[in-house]
Structure formats: structure tokens, C-alpha cells
Structure 1
Amino acid sequence: MSVFSWNCRGSGGPSTISNLSRYLRSTGAPLAFISETKCSEKTAGKRIARLPLQNCEIIPSQGRGGGLWMILGNEVSVNVLETSFSFIVAKVQFGPAAKPWLLFAAYDDCDDRRNIEIWNKLSDYTATCELPVCAIGDFNCITDQSEKQGGSSKLKAKHTKFRSFLHRTGLMDLGYSGLAYTWANNQNGRSLILERIDRAVAAADWVNLYPNSKVFHIPNYSSDHLPILLRTEPKPKRKAKAFKVEQWWSLQHDFGDLCARAGHNRD
């Protein structure tokens, strides 16, 4: 299964929807979280109609900011539990035989109040939810200086707090493959700043369920954010070891009785 996440920086650009459609077709992701769409519910419906995924949960923008979409195909079951300007929380299940888990899709728009809201809400779900928890999206935070290029070399207070938040909740960063940074300030030369602020994190039970999961940073030119793709593979089932009988066992006087009792207990 795959989950696609992208801060598209407004869905009204001439290439945004066509690029999004290509991303969804090429990745085959049956579930996508799109943030900063900057459009109303009515407009969102018209634009989503052009995408390969049709089922949706829409959080309209407020003024010229925000806007969230969770769009999905028929092969995934989603039960939306809670929404706000900054997040969508849903119970997801990829197929009837798959184990359900909780997806927390986040969008931090640089407002410190919403930043705290996201962390507090995600912390509550991680602590109380019986389902494995995974969070994905634009957290607008780095965890250390290695996730940044350009600008001040000093970490902001919220970046340090974000790292402490992940440590306190036990949420693990799922890493990435591809380009090192997911956001650029679209400047040139010494003014250019690059940061890794889009990511996926998960609780230990989710990681145990999907130990082979991978996050990919996808190249993009129509937004200041790169899309990220979370691919998961279920934990492989252990094959039962073949039980071998040593020939000399049959020479023991009570071997027949032991076999009879073992067969009776198994029945």
C-alpha cells in the first residue's frame, strides 16, 4: 500500500492538478493527503473530479490560506475520526484482510498556535489509541541542523521542541530516499534555504507492523514542497519449521505411546 502526501501550495495553478494526477497514476497510491489547497469545498470538488481518486474528505480553506484534501480509491477503507484546519485523523484499512491503523495527516502553516495543536492532538492519539499510529505531512519543523542548508546555523526554539516532542511520544522518523530536502524558499545564491520539513513518523507498534516501510521524496517543480510517498509492506509471516523425526527415537520403548498422546492432544 502507499500513502501520498503533498503541500501543493494552492491547487489553482495551471500545472498543479495535472501534476497531481500524474503522481497518483505513476505511484499507484490509493490514498493521498493534499494540504494548502487554497480553495473552497465547491472548487475542490471540481478539481478532484479530474483526478484518478474520487472519494474525498475536504476541509475548505479559510480566506486565502489552508485547505486540506484526503482523497482515496475504492480499495482502501477510511473512517475519518476528526478534522481541523491543521489535520485530518482517520482509521484506514487497505483491504478487508489487512490490519487497520490510524493515520494522522498534518499541515503546519507556521502559526505557533496550530503548531501546538498538532503536537498535542498527535500526542493524545499516540498515548490513547489502540490502533498503530502513523503521521505524515508538512510539520514545518526540522529536528537538527543536518536537515537544513543555508540561512542561520542556529536552530529555532520550535525545532528543538519538535525533536523533544518526537522523543517524548516515542514517534520514530521513518527516514527517506531521494533528495535530502523537501522545501525551498525559492531564492538564489546565498539567500537559498533548503529544509526537510515534510516527513512521516510512526509509533513502535506501527513500525513493527510495517518494518519494511520506506518514504520517498519525489521531485517536483510546481510547488516549494516536494511530495512524499510512504510505501509499506506487511511484516512477513514466519514459515513454520519442519519437524524432523530422528530414526533412533523409534527404538525407544515408549515412542509409540508418546506419538499417540501427541496426536490426541493436537485433536
Structure 2
Amino acid sequence: MWNRDTRLQVKDKSRSLIHATVTNASGVEWELVCVYGDANHTRNPQIWRQILRIIAKGTPVCVIGDFNAIADESEKVCGDPILNKNSRDFKEFLFEGELIDMGFKGPAFTWTNKRSASEAIHERLDRVVATVGWLQMHSQTYVNNLPRIQSDHGAIMLRLDGRKEKKRRFRMES
């Protein structure tokens, strides 16, 4: 969003969602939804319904953030099995919204409970999903999962232009 030719207008915000309309220099619009899923999972079905209402309007949609849900057993290492209501609801939400997971480059797991090796749990809670219409508009897009530094979550970066970040040379000042 750091581009003078791109406008972002926040349409709605809550504890769990920020919904914005993005307009590019050509006047083409799409919807951006930033999500923070409920860590206790009780409000997630309500959050998914709210996103599905945005998708139902027919505008291309991209959803990014911490869903606090995993869709597949390969997205979790250790801890309780994932075959629970939250995972089923999340997979149903993705299916009903016809949302496509954009995949990622970088670390596979975006969250850890930060415990010692024998009690450590790692999960892929953070991701980017989009409608087919949005993916057709942004064919050069990719997602980069960044390493966890101090938080229990690693940041995710969505690149719309497909260009990789240039490494800047480190120089000491005199």
C-alpha cells in the first residue's frame, strides 16, 4: 500500500476484522480483509460469516492475517490432534467462499507456543487467501512468511508486483 497510485479506504473495522476497498491507478477496485481469528475459537464462525458476506458482493477479495485456525494436519506439529470443530469450520469457510490459499515462501509454521522442545507446538495460523477474481488480477503475487523474531507469530508479507526485495548493502558510517 506504499504507492501514491493506490488508494485504501477503510469501510469497516472491529476487534477481529479490518475491511477496506483498494483502488489502483486505473480505477480497478478490490476488497482487502485483514483478519484476527479468535484464539478461543468461539467467535470464528461469526468472523467467517462476515467475510463470506463481503465475498458475496462479487468484488475480488483478498483476506490476510491470523486466522487462528489450521486447515490440514500438515499445518501443525505436536500438541492435540487438529480434527476439531474449529478446523472443520475453517475448511468449510474456505470451501464456501471459494477461497484459494496462496501458499508461501519461507518458514512453514507462523506460530509457536514458545515452549521447550518436548512441549513445543508449531502451527500455520497466518496466511493469505483470495478469490479467483483477485488472483486473476494479481497473477504476479506471492506471500513470504518471515521468521519469528520476538513474537510467537512470524509476520507475513504479501507482494503484489512479484518482484523480490533487493538486498541493500550494509555500510558503516564514518
Q: 1:120 aligns with which of 49, 55, 58?
A: 49
Q: Does 1:84 align with 2:14?
A: yes
Alpha-carbon distance between aligned partners in 2 of 1:154 and 1:203, rounded to the nearest angstrom:
25
Contact 1:101 1:131 in 2 (8 A): yes
**Aligned pair count?**
162
**Cα deviation, residue 155, structure 1:** 2.1
Answer with 157-166 or 104-113: which moved more.
104-113
Q: Any idea what SS the aligned residue of 1:180 has?
A: coil
Runs of 4+ in 1 over 4 A off after TM superposition: none
Q: Any idea what SS the aligned residue of 1:225 has?
A: coil
Give the equivalent residue in structure 2 for 1:102. Answer: 31
Amino acid of the structure 2 residue aligned with 1:86: S
Alpha-carbon distance between aligned partners in 2 of 1:176 and 1:222, rounded to the nearest angstrom:
21
Could you report, residue by residue, the CA deviation over 1:149-185 in whole angstroms, capped at 9, with x for unpaired residues? 1112342211121011101110110100100100000
Answer with 114-123 or 197-206: which moved more.
114-123
Could you report, residue by residue, the CA deviation over 1:104-140 in whole angstroms, capped at 9, with x for unpaired residues? 1101132434312210111011112x42101000000
Give the equivalent residue in structure 2 for 1:258. Answer: none
Alpha-carbon distance between aligned partners in 1 of 2:26 and 2:111, rounded to the nearest angstrom:
37
Give the equivalent residue in structure 1 for 2:63. Answer: 135
Q: Does 1:225 align with 2:145?
A: no
Aligned-CA RMSD value: 1.8
What fraction of aligned residue pairs are identical, expressed as a percent? Answer: 35
Taking structure 1 as the reference length, the TM-score comes to: 0.57
Give the equivalent residue in structure 1 for 2:84. Answer: 156
Q: 1:146 aligns with which of 74, 80, 84?
A: 74
Could you report, residue by residue, the CA deviation over 1:188-238 in whole angstroms, capped at 9, with x for unpaired residues? 12210000000000011001111221110011312100000111239xxxx
Contact 1:86 1:114 in 2 (8 A): no
Which of structures 1 and 2 has the bigger CA Rg? 1
Q: How does 1:4-83 map to 2 (within 5 A)?
A: 30=2, 74-83=4-13
**Cα deviation, residue 88, structure 1:** 0.6
Which structure has the highest helix share of the two? Answer: 1
Q: Does 1:199 align with 2:89?
A: no
Amino acid of the structure 2 residue aligned with 1:108: G
**Cα deviation, residue 98, structure 1:** 5.5
Contact 1:79 1:90 in 2 (8 A): yes
Alpha-carbon distance between aligned partners in 2 of 1:222 and 1:209, rounded to the nearest angstrom:
35
Contact 2:11 2:21 in 1 (8 A): yes
Amino acid of the structure 1 residue aligned with 2:121: I
Q: Any idea what SS the aligned residue of 1:112 has?
A: coil
Gaps of 5+ in 2: 163-174
Decide whether aligned partners of structure 1 residues 179 and 98 sit closer, same or farther in structure 2, where only a CA change above 3 A counts. Answer: farther
Q: 2:102 aligns with which of 171, 174, 181?
A: 174
Contact 2:70 2:82 in 1 (8 A): no
Decide whether aligned partners of structure 1 residues 100 and 165 sit closer, same or farther in structure 2, where only a CA change above 3 A counts. Answer: same
**Cα deviation, residue 74, structure 1:** 4.7
Alpha-carbon distance between aligned partners in 2 of 1:227 and 1:132, rounded to the nearest angstrom:
24
